[in-house]
């Protein structure tokens, strides 16, 4: 969840590190810090509580010069967000370390190190890494060897970067469970937890594999696997847009990303639909063979990705006639479950690094699932590298902690998957052609949905002083209600719950009064009349309703019900289209409330710890 940047260069690196941290701030933003090795071999450290801007200002006031350095932006796990808990951590004024992940056996290691005379200055698990390396360096011949010895004693997850004041032009980096990417420059080299941090300085990257340890100097990168054998890792040219981390004309990344949805959807569909068919090649070379055998779908995800998976469950069973189960990754990984025959294990993830989802994939392999597929937005991520089949979302970098464009693009990818597998079950040639044609209309439909912005902005004023809200939907709109509620609570801090509308009278109806706004997602489909009865149940209890529906659903606004007109669309696309006004609603409510929209409290974009 934290962000790491390191550089061994032939120029002062402070600015490179700070720029990198700024671009990584979405990963954690409660404190930050850096260490730069001065020309006379001293470790210069600065740490601040708060955002990277604060660190930048402090660095400007007392410039730190030096061509080797490491930096970190933190999302606290062990120890509160204070200056002494911020990274880098230093041992004996010699070794400096930044760490992403959790060292599970830190208490035992800490005790042993204290017995050896080491003094700890923080409450973090990470500090043990610095002291352990220092202790091993007393007997090992090099910093590389000391780090190799150290990582063998660590249990848990780490992406770590280490510098030693006695070898000022070297960084040692190690990866297990938390991603690290090496950036290759000209006469200088870099490391980061996400390539986006390094795009201003290089586009050539190699992703470290699990267990890798690397020695990085200005002119050379040596990589060793978990058995300490030297290995090569492919260096590839990044396709990620350099400007992806700019807000452009928008006040927040979230708003930018909401408005990027038509283009993101266009990119995800481009080259993947042809002559009324979904091309299997969108999922990888072995897709056709695997899809033919598939009899069951198991989807695993977290958060917004889980909500997308829940929507797809309706599609798999109603359109494709294939059984689909969906589970939250953190639940799946810790319970005993049964593998269905010929079950395709599907992971959904924007980042591709979500710790629980990744652990679930590893477990699925041990359990003997037939094959795995991931729908993921980040090239080279752990889920992408670990799955048999891959659907690259091509949504473009998503920076806002609240996931928006990733959700609608995931839904489009899932619909393609439903078709690609479903044609071996109940989806006919004509049905496939109809779905493909609906998908092709999707970007334009999203444009239309975005024109609801002025109405939603006004609506937001009704919500800003509320403390609670209910979101209702039926069938595939129920997960859309879940997503609407997640968005609202995540960035506005208003408590929001989603219910399948039919569940209301089994308990939640007791909550309804004039202070509880109820949002109803009411597309014009076969369940509309049922939903109208649910609406009457709320109305009879004095509830205040906001109904999202198209003209044909024939709702009329009155003193207890405000109708928000959503552009009419294919029933199939309705879950994707109805998501747009809900995203805008949470954005504008939060804008009025003045919350930190892109970096809401207590959260981080990429949840790389469990
Ligand atoms: O990167 P992933 O899609 O695996 O992330 C899963 C969740 O952490 C993520 O969707 C989270 O719920 C978002 N903050 C929701 O907006």
Give the ligand 1 atom nearest the CA of 406.
3
* Pocket test residue of 607, 608, 609, 610 for ligand 1, highest count of atoms within 8 A of CB: 607
Q: Dump pLDDT digits (tens) for 512-527.
A: 888 889 999 999 888 8
Give the separation between CA 383 and CA 350, rounded to whole angstroms. Answer: 10
Catalytic status, residue 605: yes
Which residues contact ligand 1 via a Cβ below 6 A?
302-305, 349-351, 354, 357, 401-403, 486, 490, 607
Protein residue closest via CA to atom 12 of ligand 1: 303
- DSSP assignments along 527-545, one per residue: THHHHHHHHHHHHTTT-EE
- Closest by CA to 95, choosing from 129, 54, 46, 56, is 129
**Ligand 1 center to residue 301 CA distance, Å?**
9
Q: Are 25 and 3 in contact (CB under 8 A)?
A: yes
Give the ligand 1 atom nearest the CA of 303.
12
Task: Choose, from 2, 324, 376, 569, the residue flagged as catalytic.
Answer: 2
For residue 136, the surrounding DSSP H or E stretch is: helix 127-137
Give the ligand 1 atom nearest the CA of 301.
4
Task: Choose, from 22, 256, 487, 605, the residue flagged as catalytic.
Answer: 605
- Closest by CA to 477, choosing from 435, 509, 522, is 522
* Pocket test residue of 27, 75, 252, 304 for ligand 1, highest count of atoms within 8 A of CB: 304
| Residue 286 CB neighbours (<10 A) | 13
Note the pTM of the prediction, 2 decimals. Answer: 0.81
Mean pLDDT per block of 10 residues along the chain (610 residues) reads 91 95 82 93 93 90 91 87 94 96 94 96 95 94 95 93 96 93 95 93 94 96 97 90 76 96 96 96 97 98 98 97 97 95 97 94 96 94 94 94 97 98 97 97 96 96 92 96 98 96 89 90 89 85 90 88 94 96 98 94 79
Q: What is the pLDDT of residue 1?
A: 67
Q: Are 398 and 377 in contact (CB under 8 A)?
A: yes
In terms of C-beta density within 10 A (0-12 exposed, 13-18 middle, 19 or more buried), how is residue 510 classed? exposed
Q: What is the pLDDT of residue 243?
A: 65
Omega within 30 of 0 (cis) for the link into 383: no
Q: What is the pLDDT of residue 64?
A: 87
- Closest by CA to 184, choosing from 161, 202, 159, 160, is 202
**What's the order of all strands across the beta sheet hosting 517-521?**
495-500, 468-473, 517-521, 544-549, 561-565
Q: What is the pLDDT of residue 411?
A: 98
Q: Dump pLDDT digits (tens) for 229-241.
A: 999 999 999 877 7
Give the ligand 1 atom nearest the CA of 607.
8
Q: Where are the alpha helices (DSSP H) in 395-539?
A: 405-422, 429-450, 453-463, 478-492, 528-539
Catalytic status, residue 48: no
Give the separation between CA 306 and CA 357, rounded to whole angstroms. Answer: 10
Q: What is the pLDDT of residue 236?
A: 92
Q: What is the pLDDT of residue 137?
A: 95
- Closest by CA to 151, choosing from 96, 212, 91, is 212
């Amino acid at each position: 969840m934290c962000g790491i940047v390191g550089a061994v260069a032939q120029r002062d690196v402070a600015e490179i590190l700070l720029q990198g941290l700024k671009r990584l701030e979405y990963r954690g933003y409660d404190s930050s810090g850096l260490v730069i090795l001065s020309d006379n071999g001293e470790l210069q450290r600065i740490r601040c509580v708060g955002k990277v801007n604060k660190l930048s200002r402090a660095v400007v006031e007392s410039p730190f010069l030096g061509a080797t350095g490491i930096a970190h932006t933190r999302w606290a796990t062990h120890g509160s967000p204070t200056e002494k808990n911020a990274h880098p951590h230093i041992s004996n004024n010699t070794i400096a370390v930044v760490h992403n992940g959790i060292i599970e056996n830190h208490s035992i290691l800490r005790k042993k190190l204290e017995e050896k005379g080491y003094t700890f200055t923080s409450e973090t698990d990470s500090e043990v890494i610095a002291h352990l390396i220092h202790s091993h360096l007393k007997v090992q011949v090099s910093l590389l060897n000391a780090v190799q010895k150290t990582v063998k004693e660590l249990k848990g997850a780490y992406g770590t970067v280490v510098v030693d004041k006695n070898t000022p032009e070297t960084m040692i980096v190690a990866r297990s469970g938390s991603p690290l990417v090496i950036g290759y420059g000209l006469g200088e080299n870099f490391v980061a937890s996400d390539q986006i941090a390094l795009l201003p300085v290089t586009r050539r990257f190699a992703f470290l594999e699990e267990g890798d340890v690397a020695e990085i100097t200005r002119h050379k990168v040596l990589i060793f696997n978990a058995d300490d054998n030297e290995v090569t890792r492919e260096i590839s040219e990044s396709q990620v847009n350099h400007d992806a981390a700019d807000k452009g004309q928008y006040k927040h990344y979230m708003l930018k990303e909401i408005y990027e949805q038509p283009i993101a959807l266009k990119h995800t569909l481009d080259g993947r639909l042809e002559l009324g068919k979904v091309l299997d090649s969108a999922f990888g070379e072995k897709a056709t063979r695997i899809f033919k055998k598939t009899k069951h779908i198991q989807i695993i995800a977290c958060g917004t990705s889980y909500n997308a998976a829940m929507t797809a469950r309706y599609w798999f069973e109603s359109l494709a006639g294939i059984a689909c189960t969906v589970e939250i990754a953190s639940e799946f990984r810790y319970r005993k479950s049964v593998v269905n025959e010929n079950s395709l294990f599907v992971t959904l993830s924007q980042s591709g690094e979500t710790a629980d989802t990744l652990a679930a994939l590893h477990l699925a392999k041990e359990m003997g699932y037939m094959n795995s597929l991931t729908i993921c937005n980040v090239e080279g991520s752990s889920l992408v590298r670990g799955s048999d089949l891959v659907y690259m979302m091509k949504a473009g970098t998503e920076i806002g902690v609240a996931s928006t464009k990733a959700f609608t693009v995931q839904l489009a990818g899932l619909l393609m998957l439903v078709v690609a597998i479903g044609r071996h079950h109940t989806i006919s040639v004509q049905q496939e052609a109809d779905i493909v044609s609906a998908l092709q209309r999707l970007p334009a439909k999203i444009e239309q949905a975005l024109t609801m912005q002025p109405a939603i902005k006004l609506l937001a004023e009704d919500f800003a002083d509320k403390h609670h809200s209910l979101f209702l939907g039926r069938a595939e709109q129920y997960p859309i209600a879940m997503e609407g509620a997640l968005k609202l609570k995540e960035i506005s801090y208003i408590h929001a719950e989603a219910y399948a509308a039919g569940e209301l009278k089994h308990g939640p109806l007791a909550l309804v009064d004039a202070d509880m706004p109820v949002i109803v997602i009411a597309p014009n489909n076969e369940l509309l009349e049922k939903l109208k009865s649910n609406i009457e149940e709320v109305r009879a209890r004095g509830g205040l309703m906001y109904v999202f529906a198209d003209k044909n659903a024939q709702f009329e606004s009155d003193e207890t019900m405000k109708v928000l007109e959503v552009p009419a669309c294919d029933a199939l696309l309705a879950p994707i289209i109805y998501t747009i006004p809900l995203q805008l609603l949470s954005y504008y409510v939060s804008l009025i409330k003045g919350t930190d929209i892109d970096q809401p409290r207590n959260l981080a974009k990429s949840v790389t710890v469990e």
